[in-house]
A and B are shown apart, each in its own frame.
Chain A
């Protein structure tokens, strides 16, 4: 394996320096030059290291990109340092041997900027195009595409011949076409490459074609690029529409999560709970605490931290909810104005309590690996994993809630109490306990929403305030007391918002939606799906 890597690297060296052969020691010289304060010198040094064909180049460049290349202050030696606890474990890039440890005070990091980062990725891409690891080859193909260096053509051609996986082949072909389209001397060749590129409807390709269409010397090439550009743009516009729809659904799912707990407390019980947002916030903080404990006690569980946080948040927020119901709200049933004021006061108390406990600053909630990043349907349509996860989760929560309401004895009691309290009581249902449990359920679901929101928003004491207005809007719009209405309401507000936003801007978009909802409520005061029956009439 190591031998194969080495031979591959050596082979590549041959391709990279077809004319000039650097003298032995050029790697050593260039390495020392990385030390320079000037970014220009570093740029040259990186190019020289990449072209040295030295087997040690890749490790060094990767360390530099990762910010793990240091100079030791005492002897100005360039070393690779890996942080372990308080000190750095040092490796000499020249020998590959470990050379002891040093605290950060004795080392000076070799700094890079965005320009060097781009150069490094291109160079590393060139060195890993033939790597045995398919992920690395894929990344390399994209890096080479971005770098667009004419020197890469021979390696690319070779890699393309060898490649067996179709996805990577496609990427390599794209990189090759991009290089040909921008660097080939022959306009006819350029036109062919541009034609190839026009099959990739991706923003990066669009950028490249746009550049060629404006700047190429030959008119034929410019025209070809312009045509290809139009084709790519058409494709992209179609994907953008789908992307917009996805974003709308995603925003809808966030609204749904924030509102579904309120659909119980406000919708079913009729309690105007201004502290609803703070229950969401409690859920988010529970996630933080769970992750904190996991980080210190069992780091290997981190990937599953959210699954642990969901029930924990349900229990924490649910118990706080029950406590609120028993201590405050139950004395205020039937007095909406007092409830509103009391719960608003509670929301301020909860906020300040969390501020005192955790401090006013944002807390860092980590995203597990399986939720970060995105899936590229095509270049034009990018769906992020965290959004997909939240959509699925929100639907799951609504389904679960519907099942509880429809299929369990508790759900039956809950509905009975809401529809006719004295009748339910005379049938032997302890209405007080049912009230407490119902409020606890709504609060617990708000807490679960907090777990999801911690992935996309600030975990700070103010988290809840952002969502309280939106939650009420969704519940009122969808129809009070109707879960299905909340679902449809949330998704329609989300989608309408996302289609308005590109046209009107975020601020105006929000205003338009709000005005539209107010007008709608004038027409249909009970919302989209109004409950019917005697209970409603009273």
Chain B
């Protein structure tokens, strides 16, 4: 009887102390929210980003954490369900009280969480290339805006080196990112003197798997006597059957080059790329770029994921840059307070994995280099062209008349994401 009582007491004490230490730990950590789909259609892309975040948080903790505190990752699974993204974001911010969130992939998921972040004044780092036309006070966009990906890629294809394309096919999945990007591209091509008849636009549903008609249409369109190039904003799962059909119908890159904005190393991993050599992708990062920083990053990734075959890609670099910038800003501000960190973010610099330095601008977009790469037989992309120096991300496209007027600048005197004139009058000198 006494033995039992003693055991019970001991158990109680242990439970009590562990509870207390648990609390103590909770107070002493900085919480980082990770909001990426781990199930559903987008899991294919987003799981990798979750793992990349875990790797960087672990790495930061090994270096002693931030402000003398350990970082703690809070991972939730919004399951590729857009409204659930908003719910999970709210849960992260109000219930788990995270200091910052890294997450989202599709534009529709970002649009879904945007009101939550603005209402609760928290910070989101968004790592994927997107259609632009947005600048929120609560979001830092570490992926490419259209002028950091689409426009330079088209410039390359128009150049002598890229084959002087005169006719254009714009293929996309039917949702906001491809539609907006193609709207910008169409305006840009027209400004460059391309006739309406020389542009073909086509949209397909998510997960489209039968590309026979479209690929033969492209071949037909290309046989009009002018050099033709295809710009693909096809997203996600539909890419594999699309590229398989291209290969099977013998569309060679020398004849009709296809440049893609959503196809990276990860997407190519499920494909036999032999017949696709020479087709292009435009990004701000390629795994094949040979720099010491990139080598170290790849080695660290392979060690972390314990799989030698895994690849790195552009959105991973975007998270890498975003996370480092946030960590630097927290160190500088001496706090994780959202408003203080936001101020400290402007002008923050981090070395790119591909060389050069990325800078955070006051429109919440990065300045980054742009590269065009060719698909190789081993599934890698190799740079064939890159911009000299960095390109500043432009939230509002200069090629759409109604958005050309708008400015995004979150510092005085503008303090606005979509204004035609500054919010505050500049004081007379």
Interface stretch (choices A22-30, A451-459, A480-488) = A451-459
Q: Closest approach, in angstroms, between the C-beta of B286 and any C-beta of chain A?
A: 12
Q: Closest approach, in angstroms, between the C-beta of A226 and any C-beta of chain B?
A: 11
Residues of chain A lying within 8 A (CB to CB) of residue B94: none
Interface residue? A18 (CB, 8 A): no
Given known A114-B254, A117-B253, A374-B249, contact A498–B270 (CB-CB < 8 A) = no
210-269 of chain B: CB within 8 A of chain A: 210, 212-214, 216-217, 219-220, 222-226, 237, 240-241, 244-245, 247-250, 253-255, 257, 266-267, 269
A213-B212 in contact (CB<8A):
no
Give per-residue flags for B161-189: 1 if the beta carbon is below 8 A from chain A beta carbons, else 0.
Answer: 11100000000001000000000000000
Residues of chain A lying within 8 A (CB to CB) of residue B385: 113
Residues of chain A lying within 8 A (CB to CB) of residue B382: 109, 111
Interface residue? A35 (CB, 8 A): no
Given known A111-B382, A384-B249, contact A362–B43 (CB-CB < 8 A) = no
Q: When the two chains form the complex, which single residue of A114, A214, A465, A505 contacts B253, counting CB atoms closer than 8 Å?
A: A114
A382-B250 in contact (CB<8A):
yes
A243-B376 in contact (CB<8A):
no
Q: In the bound complex, what is the Cα–Cα distance between A362 and B376 (angstroms)?
A: 18
Q: In the bound complex, what is the Cα–Cα distance between A502 and B205 (angstroms)?
A: 15
A113-B43 in contact (CB<8A):
no
Interface stretch (choices B128-136, B271-279, B337-345) = B271-279
Given known A114-B254, A118-B254, A498-B213, contact A213–B269 (CB-CB < 8 A) = no
Q: Closest approach, in angstroms, between the C-beta of A224 and any C-beta of chain B?
A: 15
Residues of chain B lying within 8 A (CB to CB) of residue A250: 210, 212
188-222 of chain B: CB within 8 A of chain A: 202-205, 207-210, 212-214, 216-217, 219-220, 222
| Majority-rule SS of A interface residues | helix
Give per-residue flags for A232-267: 1 if the beta carbon is below 8 A from chain B beta carbons, else 0.
Answer: 000010001001100100110010000000000000
Interface stretch (choices A148-156, A201-209, A337-345, A520-528) = A201-209
100-124 of chain B: CB within 8 A of chain A: none
| Residue of B with least CB distance to A367 | B272
Interface residue? A366 (CB, 8 A): yes
B248-A364 in contact (CB<8A):
no
B275-A210 in contact (CB<8A):
no
B248-A386 in contact (CB<8A):
yes
Give per-residue flags for B370-406: 1 if the beta carbon is below 8 A from chain A beta carbons, else 0.
Answer: 0000101100001011000000000000000000000
Q: In the bound complex, what is the Cα–Cα distance between A244 and B214 (angstroms)?
A: 11
Q: In the bound complex, what is the Cα–Cα distance between A507 and B206 (angstroms)?
A: 10
| Residue of B with least CB distance to A386 | B248
Q: In the bound complex, what is the Cα–Cα distance between A73 and B207 (angstroms)?
A: 45
A361-B222 in contact (CB<8A):
no
Q: In the bound complex, what is the Cα–Cα distance between A456 and B202 (angstroms)?
A: 21
Interface residue? A319 (CB, 8 A): no
Q: In the bound complex, what is the Cα–Cα distance between A351 and B79 (angstroms)?
A: 12
Given known A211-B225, A360-B43, A362-B269, contact A243–B216 (CB-CB < 8 A) = yes
Which of B43, B47, B219 neighbours the largest number of chain A CB atoms within 10 Å of its CB? B43
Q: In the bound complex, what is the Cα–Cα distance between A497 and B429 (angstroms)?
A: 68
Residues of chain A lying within 8 A (CB to CB) of residue B39: 351-352, 355
Interface residue? B407 (CB, 8 A): no
Residues of chain B lying within 8 A (CB to CB) of residue A457: 209, 240-241
Q: In the bound complex, what is the Cα–Cα distance between A75 and B384 (angstroms)?
A: 24
Sort chain B's interface into a size bin. 35 or more
Interface residue? A96 (CB, 8 A): no
183-233 of chain A: CB within 8 A of chain B: 203-204, 206-214
Q: When the two chains form the complex, which single residue of B43, B213, B249, B377 contacts A502, counting CB atoms closer than 8 Å?
A: B213
287-342 of chain B: CB within 8 A of chain A: none
Residues of chain A lying within 8 A (CB to CB) of residue B249: 374, 382, 384
| Residue of A with least CB distance to B41 | A462
Q: When the two chains form the complex, which single residue of B44, B161, B253, B255 contacts A362, counting CB atoms closer than 8 Å?
A: B44
B225-A208 in contact (CB<8A):
yes
| Residue of A with least CB distance to B160 | A115
B223-A458 in contact (CB<8A):
no
Residues of chain A lying within 8 A (CB to CB) of residue B266: 361
B219-A203 in contact (CB<8A):
yes
| Residue of B with least CB distance to A215 | B225
Give per-residue flags for A463-498: 1 if the beta carbon is below 8 A from chain B beta carbons, else 0.
Answer: 001100000000000000000000000000000011
Which of A115, A351, A352, A355 neighbours the largest number of chain B CB atoms within 10 Å of its CB? A115
Q: In the bound complex, what is the Cα–Cα distance between A254 and B241 (angstroms)?
A: 13
Interface residue? A121 (CB, 8 A): yes
Q: In the bound complex, what is the Cα–Cα distance between A362 and B41 (angstroms)?
A: 12
Q: Closest approach, in angstroms, between the C-beta of B80 and any C-beta of chain A?
A: 9
A456-B374 in contact (CB<8A):
no
What are 28 A-B interface contacts by the 8 Å CB criterion? A39-B161, A67-B377, A111-B384, A113-B161, A113-B278, A117-B278, A207-B224, A211-B226, A212-B225, A240-B220, A247-B213, A251-B210, A355-B43, A361-B266, A362-B269, A362-B270, A362-B271, A374-B248, A387-B248, A456-B209, A456-B244, A457-B240, A462-B237, A466-B207, A466-B209, A466-B237, A501-B214, A505-B203
Give chain B's interface residues, CB within 8 Å of chain A.
38-41, 43-44, 47-48, 161-163, 174, 202-205, 207-210, 212-214, 216-217, 219-220, 222-226, 237, 240-241, 244-245, 247-250, 253-255, 257, 266-267, 269-272, 275, 277-278, 374, 376-377, 382, 384-385
Cβ-closest 9 pairs across A and B = A362-B270, A210-B225, A211-B225, A203-B223, A384-B248, A118-B254, A247-B212, A207-B223, A506-B204
